[in-house]
Amino acid sequence: MTDFQSGVEPMVYSGRIRMPYQWSAGETGSRFFTQLRDYGRIWGSRCRVCDLVFVPPRKVCGRCLNGIGEWIELPPAGVLQTFTVVYRHRPAIHPADPPFAYGIIRLDGADSGLIHLLGEIEPGEIVSGLRVQAVLKEKRERRGDILDIKYFKPFSA
């Protein structure tokens, strides 16, 4: 039995688990998405206790755990906090082919960030602190999800 483990043909079994899921956006998230889809408007929610404005909108403030009832419309423009340019990816589940850029945008008037793609800019020209604005899909193409915003591009007045 000394050579029991030598010259063994390695057996490998492949599998693939495909599980369907349905993720609810909740009433608060759904209100954001239907407003974006139907009117192209971006709404945040404001915690009166902490005086913080959240996008994505929160039903409950994560800091003080009080319920949030106040909606605030925000302009589709803000400041890029940070970014990266993705040159390779696996698996290919992303909404764009590499190289593509994405970053975190703080919309004017918001106290939290929104993660999104960057477009209409060369990778080498992106810096944090850049002013950016949302580019929306045409209304007929909008489905009520976060990609109803196509990407953020450099701000032009």
DSSP letter (8 states) at residue 11: P
Q: Should residue 7 be labelled a site residue for another protein when binding is judged by CB under 8 A?
A: no
In sequence order, what DSSP letters do the residues of 43-55 get, joined into one string? EEEEETTTTEEES
Q: Give the shortest CB-117-to-another protein separation in angstroms.
A: 6
Pick one of 123, 136, 153, 154: the residue that binds another protein (CB under 8 A).
123
Helix (H) or strand (E) holding 37: helix 26-39
139 pairs with which residues across the strands?
none
- Give the span between the Cα atoms of 106 and 94, in whole angstroms: 22
Q: Should residue 140 be labelled a site residue for another protein when binding is judged by CB under 8 A?
A: no
14-22, 37-45, 67-75, 130-138 -> range binding another protein (CB under 8 A): 14-22
- Could you give the 3-state DSSP secondary structure of residue 86? strand
Q: Per-residue string for binding with another protein, 42-81, x by CB under 8 A?
A: --------------x-----x------------------x
Q: Give the shortest CB-138-to-another protein separation in angstroms.
A: 19
- Give the span between the Cα atoms of 58 and 38, in whole angstroms: 20
The pairing of strands 114-118 and 100-107 is antiparallel
Q: Which residues are near another protein by CB under 8 A?
A: 10, 12, 15, 17, 21, 23, 25, 29, 56, 62, 81-91, 93-95, 102-104, 112-117, 123, 127-128, 145-147
